[in-house]
Structure 1
Amino acid sequence: MMKQILRWLILGGTLFFLAKALKDNWQEVATIHIDAVGWAILLIATGITLLAHTWAGWVWVWVLQELNQPVCSSEFIQVYLKTNIAKYLPGNIWHYYGRIMAAKNANVSPGAATLSVLLEPLLMAAAALIIVLLGSQFITAKTALTLFIAQLVGLLGVLCVLHPRFLNKATRLLQRMKAKKSASNTLQPVPLSLEKYPLRPLLGELGFLALRGTGFILTLFALSPLNLSQIPLLLGGFSFAWLLGLVVPIAPGGLGVFEATAIALLQQHFPPAVIISATGLYRLVSILAETGGAGLAWLDERLF
């Protein structure tokens, strides 16, 4: 009951903040005009965002390979792109479920399939925290030390969870618990473990966040001129907003949470109307890229 109340409070607070921000800056938002060059930049932003999701599918293949599962890269990138759009369904888990089922159908062990989709958001969270710590100029001096320490502790915690020593022990414990609950004790679970730290997938997720951040920066650039010195600020702010959209369970695909966080962080450094418009446009860019990726994966599967 308390969990449901908390979810509704977070959702209500997010919607109220977005509505108030739009109401207070509606006149300025209405005056923003996108010229032909701006539309071309938005098209490039959509292409880069599509590339980011394709790259994320490749990183998922790396995760499965770290778990000693020989998989076809092109096939699993297609699976990733086709299931990605399901994250907007209520529950925010159906894209993971689709990937697990597709991996099982491709003869990937159930344990490896499940662990791969559990590792992916952890790797993404670690990558986002790294970028936030490197580009945390949006933090005010009053809260800088507290937030920096909290982010650093969070990053160290995630990195420790990803360590094979911890992860393998947790996996073996879960396997033993599952075996005890199983009706048949004659079947022993296949040992599942990481042989080394998943450094390559972590670096891959850094690339994913960099590409997503580039798409957001280009979306903002389509509306307003930018300086190179503002890039770290925007990349850090985007990564933090994207991270909150990832971890807040009431927001399928981070819908609403990402926008509210990005506006709150960046409106002190850019005109609020520009930030509001950019976050709304970037949501459209993201959905178009994800839908296009799913469509292209489906066509590629059917034609080739």
Structure 2
Amino acid sequence: MPSLPPLWSSLRRVPSRLPPLPGGARLWVTLLSLGFLLAALKGNAEQLLAQRLDPQGWLWLVIGVGLSLLSLVINGLAWAVGLRWFRLRPRWGLSVRAYLSTNLLKYLPGGIWHLAARVRLLVQGDRLLAGPATSVATPLALAATLLDPLLAASAALAIAAAAGWRSGWPLLGLLPLLVLVPRWFQPLLQRLERSRERQLARSPQTQPLVQGLPDADSSSAGFLLPGYPLLPLLVQVLFVLFRFSGFAACVLAFDQQLSLPWPAWLLGFALAWTAGLVVPGAPGGLGVFEAVLLVQLGGQLAEAPLLAVALSYRLVVTLADLLAALTARLDAALDPPLRNCGIS
């Protein structure tokens, strides 16, 4: 049998895995995104400082905070709908409050504190779940928690496909919708669940939250998807649209509504928001959202007003996250049943 060519033989000896980046991919994505954003800010500093808000513009920003706050409530409801889709019986009001209360934890380093807190609340099922069978195995709790961002990303890409159908985006939106078919979604969700469980277990940041959880290797640890997650997906579509309405208020605040058609704004927002959700980077998608938005829309309008819109939206959603968490915790502090559920 003839020997392999020397070049092919050397290629076979190349490692199949590249060595990990120093500090991890999250650090490098954060640095690159923030570096790109800082460079854009420096290059447009004079024009950016020239941007001014009139009283009507400030009113639009206040409206944006309210719309973003409402979107968080819808997101909490979407999480509860996902729990119900998994054939659990969530206490609806408590589930939404728990979601809002833990949402602020996403800004902590590591980006997994909010997931760990929700998993712990689900495993201690008597807090959030009704009915006689309230015990939830850790893998099922993790899967129900991971379902929320996966469906949110799928919904955002579907909206992007609808907004940019003339630009050739429909295939991008159809792909994640096809992945949600149980035949493919079941192994994907199980793999993500196992990966996230290992991350929670070995991270010193989340060990206080996950210590004492049931063993994932027990016989009751498996889970099966009950079908296609259509209803949770539709609620996530509503959430993303309300999220965009908060962004649209920032566009109106700086009188940029005529700079681009609204479908183009929606397309740019949906793509940037999805990137900020799924790309590993700074907590809350800081820097990633703004960088992708600049890349997507920067060639279609001046960068200075686009930067003003992006930065004001970051301020609006952060304030909405803070208000939602504080309101949920205050509500729990004033209501003993909520406090007993561990939401405060």
- Taking structure 2 as the reference length, the TM-score comes to 0.76
Distance 1:6 1:172 in 2: 23
Q: Are the equivalent residues in 1 in contact too, given 2:256–2:305 (CA < 8 A)?
A: no
Q: Which residue of 2 aligns with 1:242?
A: 273
Structure 1 window deviating more from structure 2 (213-222 vs 165-174): it is 165-174
Q: Are the equivalent residues in 2 in contact too, given 1:48–1:211 (CA < 8 A)?
A: yes
Q: Could you give the per-residue CA deviations for residues 120-156 of structure 1, whole angstroms, max 9, x where no partner exists?
A: 111011111111112238x9xxxx55x765x25xx42
Unaligned runs of 5+ in 2: 1-18, 128-133, 198-213, 336-344
Q: Which residue of 2 aligns with 1:260?
A: 291
Q: What amino acid does structure 1 have at the position aligned with 2:110?
A: G
After superposition, residues 42-53 of structure 1 pair within 5 angstroms as 42-53=61-72
Normalized per residue, the structure richer in helix is 1
Taking structure 1 as reference, are residues 100 and 229 closer, same or farther at Cα in structure 2, changes over 3 Å only?
same
**% identity of equivalent residues:** 34
After superposition, residues 153-302 of structure 1 pair within 5 angstroms as 155-156=174-175, 158-168=176-186, 188-189=219-220, 192-227=223-258, 230-302=261-333
Taking structure 1 as reference, are residues 108 and 272 closer, same or farther at Cα in structure 2, changes over 3 Å only?
farther
Q: What amino acid does structure 2 have at the position aligned with 1:302?
A: A
Could you say which structure has the larger radius of gyration? Answer: 2
Q: What amino acid does structure 2 have at the position aligned with 1:131?
A: I
SS at match of 1:85: helix
The reply on whether 1:136 has 2:167 as its aligned counterpart is: no
Unaligned runs of 5+ in 1: none
Distance 1:148 1:162 in 2: 16
Structure 1 window deviating more from structure 2 (2-11 vs 270-279): it is 2-11
Q: Could you give the per-residue CA deviations for residues 186-220 of structure 1, whole angstroms, max 9, x where no partner exists?
A: x6316532322110110111111101111011112
Distance 1:122 1:274 in 2: 31
The reply on whether 1:85 has 2:116 as its aligned counterpart is: no
Shift of 1:183: 9.1
SS at match of 2:289: helix
SS at match of 1:91: coil
Q: Are the equivalent residues in 2 in contact too, given 1:69–1:112 (CA < 8 A)?
A: no
Q: Could you give the per-residue CA deviations for residues 235-260 of structure 1, whole angstroms, max 9, x where no partner exists?
A: 11001001111111122110000011
Shift of 1:161: 3.6
Shift of 1:23: 1.3
- The one of 119, 140, 158 equivalent to 2:147 is 119
Structure 1 window deviating more from structure 2 (114-123 vs 59-68): it is 114-123
Q: Are the equivalent residues in 1 in contact too, given 2:162–2:170 (CA < 8 A)?
A: no
Distance 1:118 1:184 in 2: 16
- The one of 120, 125, 128 equivalent to 1:101 is 120
- Taking structure 1 as the reference length, the TM-score comes to 0.85
Q: Are the equivalent residues in 2 in contact too, given 1:100–1:117 (CA < 8 A)?
A: yes
Q: Could you give the per-residue CA deviations for residues 90-145 of structure 1, whole angstroms, max 9, x where no partner exists?
A: 111111111111122234513332111121111011111111112238x9xxxx55
The reply on whether 1:68 has 2:87 as its aligned counterpart is: yes
Q: What amino acid does structure 1 have at the position aligned with 2:78?
A: V
Q: Are the equivalent residues in 2 in contact too, given 1:42–1:218 (CA < 8 A)?
A: yes
Q: Which residue of 1 aligns with 2:37?
A: 18
Structure 1 window deviating more from structure 2 (16-25 vs 200-209): it is 16-25
Distance 1:273 1:283 in 2: 15
Shift of 1:231: 1.3
